[in-house]
Amino acid sequence: MSGLALRNVSKRFGDTPVLDDVSLEIGADELLVVLGPSGCGKSTLLRAIAGLETIDEGQILIDGVRVDRLAPGKRGVAMVFQSYALYPHMSVRENMAFGLINIGTARAEIDRRIAQAAKMLEMEHLLGRRPSELSGGQRQRVAIGRAIVKEPKVFMFDEPLSNLDAALRSRTRQEIAGLHRRIRTAMIFVTHDQTEAMSLADRIVVMNQRRIEQIGTPLEIYASPATEFVATFVGSPAMNILPVAQATADGAFLRVALGDGTQLETSLPASAIKDGALRLGLRPEAVRLCAPGAGDTNATVEFVEFLGDKTHVHLALSRGDRVVALAAAPCTARPGDETGLVLDAAAGHLFGSDGRNLKAAPA
């Protein structure tokens, strides 16, 4: 088996669990993004793979060989940190060569690898400079170059773009995607930024409270969230979540009633009804403005967010629930306006009391 595999990995700091029975596999040429909020365990997972943290249970394998008992330098991984961690008194060339010198790599081989990495990252002209003479983006390139020269089996990025401004983040994302296409080596990219995850990943691992909530392609994660957490964490704005007052079978499909009495037909089969509180999830694109009284319900405009090619309209329903609708530009709605809403429940999701998506539940 090539690539990286984690089998039932758990980690505790004293009595505090930080990873809970994590299992996943990463292909030898896959770019996997680990996405989740601060404190969910994603950076600890990366450090455990790198050998910077020991695991309490489970196994970590690279190309079928167990590595969780090996020293970090023996695992065949390279890590790029958020803080760059460059030696300030060394030139770019010396920073890139330092790790190779420590393991006894021949000078000619070091020079070859540095020249190759510098060309790949378009930074040949920077090799003689020190970190203090570089911009933030250039320092990030050096950190990536230092990882490349190790020729690892697995590259790992721990929120590497957090210190960059918005424009530079976008360009660096493109560079990392291009780098992956060129070297075709397994990469794990940890972030809390869904834009980075959606734009870079072959697959996304969504983590929450020490566990994996869902693994899937960016489209699968967005269109078919396995849980309410995934639904609200991925997407900007987040998915609208509305409490369901009642769910009934209506022919072949499940019909739900909202708190204000609005009746909506879902695309779920009538047999999907279950005991416990239900919540209806609607992406903003499933909520459309119309004339008052002409839709499924009415709402009051609270805030209009103009974003150029589209507009997000924040609204309050009669019972106090709030939703965001996606409106085409130009949008004439203004705060205080009364408007009708069409709610496309057939494109929505129903979440049970356990937070699981009924659409994703096994039959």
What is the Cα gyration radius of the chain? 25
Cα–Cα distance for residue pair 287/208, rounded to 1 Å: 28
Interstrand relation of 31-35 and 77-80 (parallel, antiparallel or unpaired): unpaired
* Same fold flag, 4-233 and 240-351: no
Q: Cis omega (within 30 of 0) on the bond before 269?
A: no
How far CA 363 is from CA of 193, 308, 343, in Å, comes to 33, 43, 26
Asked if 56 and 12 count as a contact pair (C-beta separation under 8 A), the reply is yes
Whether residue 363 has pLDDT greater than 70: no
pLDDT at 299: 94
CATH class of 4-233: alpha beta
| Mean per-residue pLDDT, 150-155 | 88
Whether residue 1 has pLDDT greater than 70: no
Instruction: Determine the residue type at 292.
Output: P
| Mean per-residue pLDDT, 256-268 | 89
Q: Tell me the pLDDT tens digit for each residue of 305-362.
A: 988 888 999 999 988 899 999 997 778 889 999 999 999 999 999 999 899 998 765 4
- Residue showing tokens 């909020």: 37
How far CA 31 is from CA of 154, 180, 197, in Å, comes to 10, 7, 10
Q: Tell me the pLDDT tens digit for each residue of 101-125.
A: 988 899 999 999 999 888 888 889 9
Cα–Cα distance for residue pair 207/229, rounded to 1 Å: 10
pLDDT at 360: 66
Pick the residue with more confidence: 159 or 233? 233
Percent of the chain with pLDDT over 70: 98
Q: Tell me the pLDDT tens digit for each residue of 39-62.
A: 899 999 999 999 999 999 999 999
Q: How far apart are the first and last CA of the chain?
A: 32
Cα–Cα distance for residue pair 51/71, rounded to 1 Å: 6
Q: Tell me the pLDDT tens digit for each residue of 195-241.
A: 889 999 999 999 999 999 999 999 999 999 999 999 999 998 999 99
Q: Where are the domains of the chain?
A: 4-233, 240-351
Asked if 187 and 32 count as a contact pair (C-beta separation under 8 A), the reply is yes
pLDDT at 336: 94
Give 240-351's CATH code, choosing from 2.40.50.140, 1.10.10.10, 1.10.150.390, 1.20.1560.10: 2.40.50.140
* DSSP symbol at 67: -
* DSSP symbol at 21: E
Cα–Cα distance for residue pair 241/21, rounded to 1 Å: 29
Cα–Cα distance for residue pair 98/120, rounded to 1 Å: 19
Percent of the chain with pLDDT over 90: 59
Q: Tell me the pLDDT tens digit for each residue of 281-292.
A: 999 999 999 999
Q: At what angle do helices 136-148 and 107-120 cross, to 10 degrees?
A: 130
Token digits for 191?
Answer: 């972030």
Sign of the alpha-carbon dihedral angle for 172, 178, 180, 182: negative
Q: Which of 225, 173, 180, 166 is nearest to 197 (CA)?
A: 173
Instruction: Determine the residue type at 121.
Output: L
323: exposed, middle or buried (C-beta count within 10 Å: 0-12, 13-18, 19+)? buried
pTM over 0.85: yes
Asked if 134 and 126 count as a contact pair (C-beta separation under 8 A), the reply is yes
302 pLDDT band (50/70/90 cuts)? very high
Q: Which of 12, 22, 16, 18 is nearest to 188 (CA)?
A: 22
Q: Cis omega (within 30 of 0) on the bond before 160?
A: no
How far CA 26 is from CA of 4, 21, 71, 153, in Å, comes to 5, 17, 21, 11
3-state helix, strand, coil in the chain (%, to 5): 30, 35, 35
Q: Which of 132-146, 154-168, 218-232, 276-290 has the lowest mean pLDDT?
A: 154-168
